[in-house]
Amino acid sequence: MAAEKTRAIILKVVEFSETSCIVTLFTEDFGKVGALAKGARRPKGPFEGAIDLLALIRIVFLRKSSDALDLLTEAKLERRFRSAQRELARLYAGYYVAELLTELTERGDPHPALFQAADRTLHALDTGAPLAETIVRFETVALKEVGHLPSLDTCVICGRPVAATGRVPFGMIAGGVLCDQCRPGRRGVVSVSSAVIDTLRNATSKNSEGDAPAIAPAKRGELRAVMNNYFAHLIGHKLRTSDLLGGATNQ
Ligand SMILES: [Zn+2]
């Protein structure tokens, strides 16, 4: 059993016994981890209140064999997700980030860049950054990181450039925009406004630094519908928090 040190974001906390809980963590160096936190529910337990949904923590854990839960031995709080106490819309956006990380990544498959993006996103949500923009930027970084960023400039089938004018055919199953030749007979195609395609292109091209490009309120509903549909196709079911997020980002 090796003791590993890393940073982690808490995705889920489930009570396990009167004094312990099972935590799902997205770690910087080891990807998603499920660990038993013994004594975490005791008032003066070993983790000193660090076990809190969406908190950023520094941990030491013991890795077990492939099927068994890992064992959390130390957890030190670096930053609590404070939106939970402040504003429901930001709390929902935080839940959505947790669900995306849970659904898009596998246990033990590290994605340090995605961890850093999630950390930045939760911090941005906590410090009043614009909701819709912050979320779409995180979505595009996450999709890029797991290799499912939709093709937005060129036809996903044949690679011809597709101009973003009027409404653009978008293949949910194919994974991106389609040219006129490739569209006929294809399943799972929706018509997306060029404004939303442009928004996604912007979020994708400027996703590492600076402020997220602003999204006009009139485009937000369609943008959410497109992203919800895309994630549902990718994951195989609708995300539980997508409806909560839709309400939140329209504000
Ligand atoms: Zn084509």
Cα(221) to centroid of ligand 1, in Å? 27
Helix (H) or strand (E) holding 76: strand 70-79
Cα(243) to centroid of ligand 1, in Å? 32
Sheet holding 167-171, edge to edge: 176-177, 167-171, 189-193
CA-CA distance, 55 to 74, in Å (whole number)? Answer: 14
Cα(183) to centroid of ligand 1, in Å? 7
Cα(199) to centroid of ligand 1, in Å? 21
CA-CA distance, 227 to 230, in Å (whole number)? Answer: 5
Cα(182) to centroid of ligand 1, in Å? 4
Mean pLDDT of 46-54: 90
DSSP per residue, 119-176 = HHHHHHHHTT--HHHHHHHHHHHHHHHTT-PPB-SB-TTT--B---SSEEEEETTTTE
Cα(192) to centroid of ligand 1, in Å? 16
Mean pLDDT of 58-70: 89
Axis-axis angle for helices 242-249, 88-104 (nearest 10): 140
Question: How confident is the model over 147-196, as pLDDT tens digits?
Answer: 999 999 999 999 999 998 999 999 999 999 999 999 999 999 999 999 99
Cα(167) to centroid of ligand 1, in Å? 16
pLDDT score at 206? 62
CA-CA distance, 16 to 42, in Å (whole number)? Answer: 12
Cα(173) to centroid of ligand 1, in Å? 14
Measured from the Cβ of residue 53, the count of other Cβ atoms closer than 10 Å reads 17
Cα(203) to centroid of ligand 1, in Å? 23
Cα(155) to centroid of ligand 1, in Å? 5
Q: Retrieve residue 234's tokens.
A: 């990718």
Report percent pLDDT > 70 for the chain.
94
Cα(178) to centroid of ligand 1, in Å? 5
pLDDT score at 87? 86
Cα(100) to centroid of ligand 1, in Å? 30
Pick the range with the lowest mean pLDDT from 48-57, 107-116, 208-217, 225-234: 208-217
Q: Retrieve residue 187's tokens.
A: 């399943």
Question: How confident is the model over 114-129, as pLDDT tens digits?
Answer: 999 999 999 999 999 9
- Evaluate if pTM is beyond 0.85: yes
Cα(176) to centroid of ligand 1, in Å? 10
Q: Retrieve residue 225's tokens.
A: 């519908």
Answer whether residue 245 shows pLDDT above 90: no
Cα(195) to centroid of ligand 1, in Å? 21
Cα(70) to centroid of ligand 1, in Å? 47
